[in-house]
Structure 1
């Protein structure tokens, strides 16, 4: 005869941890909803192909060592992909859960904010990784853009840039009461972030004050680290420290001030 309290002991070993189950569920929902894949992969990839097809962007930059304007745009567009995931796709998804009452029900479980945010982070990170590989493949095979000369340095820079940007997305997600505010906050952040990454004006052509500001923004720091890797060097320590600070700071604040409803 079983012990009286045997039914009260949960059996979870065969199904993995709650965090892992939540990650798998969020990944499936992410693919099913198609918001993150479309915004995080499809739209930036279309922008990459359109820019690569513009003849003037295929011309060498004066003093650029034989590089074309499009060569300089590829790392910017990789950051563009991370920014659009962080400011558009990620916040809208979880803010939608809050708006529809899903998070209110999750609050009654032992999951906790850290696990909820971790699941979103991993799902978005996987999409960003696929997008980055596609970007480099299309740019290299389709338009002859060289891969970064320091692959390890580029990998480190990309990982930290992804962590920093997605952590900002988690912070928006943690605080926004619904889809509307999340979308508004993300839009307000997106354009200055991309400006300081050099999307419209290359960072070296900015006034000195704007260059300094750019160096301390997540995308500006990411761009500096990418440039080092493309030139064959391991990224400088300062941009890596800046990216790490954004990732750690935004993540901690997101977990601490997470709103269930």
Structure 2
């Protein structure tokens, strides 16, 4: 545990040396939330959404988008760059196990993204009058599973990609379909039955619904949590299986 914490602290320091990665991982989502909330139509009740203001549905969506950007545009290229620059090869001569290194990356990413989520919830509440989550334990459970699943996917991309540039390209290709089924362009409430079924099987779709349920005061549904857990187990296991030092 002490080795994990020390390595996590080191990884955090290295992370903040990459300003572009820091911007997309931590700053882009709060800025996106401010932009969306500044649109008058987003703050007005929508009859097509049952009288709910669109911004209320979009706060969980932007939270999920922020985590996915951290995972696919931040964590994956950064970790792949370690291999490309020989950092992992040098670490191979130390007692550090791959699982400890992967764990440190996950712990660092989860802690930093959690801080960003707090900022977005505060912005949504103070700037646009969006209610804070009414079911806090359910919201935390949904967020932790969502973050863990997406970071596991990001680490899998990093494990498979031969370079940081290819990791960024793969991450971008993965991000857009995930964002669509997460409701960025078309809210889940407006999806057809087929699209909604597909969305429920994706990490962003299941994660967004879990966060929306908890925000409304309901416990996240077990099928959605199960989907997130499944993505975590499968992607995390494959990331560890295909981990390469060089």
Compute the displacement of 1:40 (Å).
1.8
Compute the displacement of 1:64 (Å).
4.2
Equivalent residue in structure 2 for 1:172, among 140, 154, 157: 157
Matched, 1:206 2:213: no
Q: Deviations over 1:87-112 (max 9, x none)?
A: 11001111111111111111122212
Corresponding residue of 1:145: 130
Stretches of structure 1 lacking an aligned partner (at least 5 in a row)? 1-15
Corresponding residue of 1:251: 236
Equivalent residue in structure 2 for 1:94, among 71, 79, 85: 79
Matched ranges for 1:48-67 at <5 A: 48-62=33-47, 64=49, 66-67=51-52
Aligned length: 246
Which deviates more from structure 2 when the two are superposed, residues 82-91 or residues 199-208? 199-208
CA distance in 1, matches of 2:103, 2:205: 25
Equivalent residue in structure 2 for 1:25, among 1, 6, 10: 10
Matched, 1:112 2:92: no
Equivalent residue in structure 1 for 2:113, among 128, 143, 152: 128
Corresponding residue of 1:237: 222
CA distance in 2, matches of 1:235, 1:41: 25
1:36–1:124 CA contact under 8 A, matched in 2: no
Compute the displacement of 1:36 (Å).
4.1
2:49–2:189 CA contact under 8 A, matched in 1: no
CA distance in 2, matches of 1:243, 1:126: 18
Alignment RMSD: 1.4
CA distance in 1, matches of 2:108, 2:204: 21
Matched, 1:78 2:72: no
1:91–1:173 CA contact under 8 A, matched in 2: yes
1:32 is paired with a residue of what secondary structure?
coil
1:168–1:250 CA contact under 8 A, matched in 2: yes
Compute the displacement of 1:251 (Å).
1.1
CA distance in 2, matches of 1:226, 1:85: 18
Corresponding residue of 1:197: 182
CA distance in 1, matches of 2:22, 2:135: 28
Compute the displacement of 1:35 (Å).
4.0
CA distance in 1, matches of 2:138, 2:5: 29
Compute the displacement of 1:66 (Å).
4.4
- TM-score (structure 1 length as normaliser): 0.90
CA distance in 1, matches of 2:51, 2:168: 40
CA distance in 2, matches of 1:37, 1:121: 16
CA distance in 1, matches of 2:4, 2:53: 45
Compute the displacement of 1:63 (Å).
5.6
CA distance in 1, matches of 2:38, 2:92: 49
